[in-house]
Amino acid sequence: MNKFELCYRLADGAILVPDLLPEKEPPGIVPQQADVRFYFEYDFLPAVVMPRFMVQSSADLQPDLCWRTGAVLKNASFDCVAVVRRDSHRRRIYIDVTGRQPRDYLSVIRGRIIAINRSFEKLPFTEWIPLPDEPAHAVKYADLIGHEHSGREEKFVGELEKGYSVAKLLSSIETRQQTKETAERIIYAKEYHEDHGMKIEKVKITGGHVNFADRIEKIEYNESLGMGEKELAELKAALKRLPGDKAAELDRQAGELQKAETQEQKTSISRRILKFLVDNGVAVAKDLTVEVLKSILTGKG
């Protein structure tokens, strides 16, 4: 169970299994005046998402303040308290954070849940930001990124007959640099599909870093790739098996490749990524050339 992130060991040696915790949320847990609020919404919310999140967050978890579908987390570095809970009826995961650095702590929690979501082959989800003065109303993160990308400074909420600053709403959950990187990924995704002759009707927008495994997963085999269909399938499977820290490092390097401006830079970064894959047990990478990997990731030779 430990291997599948369904339990973890407490400091006193006891084993905590999230699925065996009490069903009811303790009264008065959720803060009424959170500094930052955020939630994920799913078409289908797998029951294992919350237990896996709790296991991955065990360093911050408060064992006496956990229940089957939620938990209280405390982090000394950010000086924050967070409440993360699953609403099975609405198919949502809510995150409420209070403290000195709530945005930064939210970024950690949010990134962790996004990584878990992406570990499933197909798990659509939407990110929402509750309005600061009307928390019962929320706006889609992807909608705000679309506004940002199009240069629209205000998000007007018709139901409230009120406009909100796009920059302020986004800055409540992430840094300006993170917003910029997400907007850049929209441009990259569109260019990539065009370069590969793929029809694209909608760009999936989520926060966090460039996801290398997701990018490879979306590639369909064709003879111009420079690698066989079997090798492509093996590469996709191997990337899904990478540990979280290795996947994060790979995403960071993929982000550098995305921003590279010259062919020399792209070749150098692609060579580094290829070595990283081989060093971390992705056997099929031994048969890839730098030029093939660069072509796959950038859509250009």
Whole-number pLDDT of residue 3: 43
pLDDT tens for 52-82 read 898 888 888 887 888 888 999 999 989 999 9
Q: In this model, does residue 121 exceed pLDDT 90?
A: no
pTM of the model: 0.64
pLDDT tens for 126-166 read 999 999 999 999 999 989 988 988 889 999 999 999 999 99
More confident residue, 199 or 41: 41
Handedness of CA 292, 296, 297, 301 (dihedral sign): positive
User: Can you point out the beta strands (E) in the chain?
Assistant: 8-9, 15-16, 36-42, 61-67, 70-75, 80-87, 92-99, 125-130, 138-140, 154-157, 162-165
pLDDT tens for 205-242 read 555 544 566 666 667 777 766 778 888 888 888 877 77
Q: Which of 20-24, 107-111, 171-175 has the lowest mean pLDDT?
A: 20-24
Q: Which of 102-106, 205-209, 249-253 has the highest mean pLDDT?
A: 102-106
pLDDT tens for 265-295 read 888 888 888 888 888 888 888 888 877 777 6
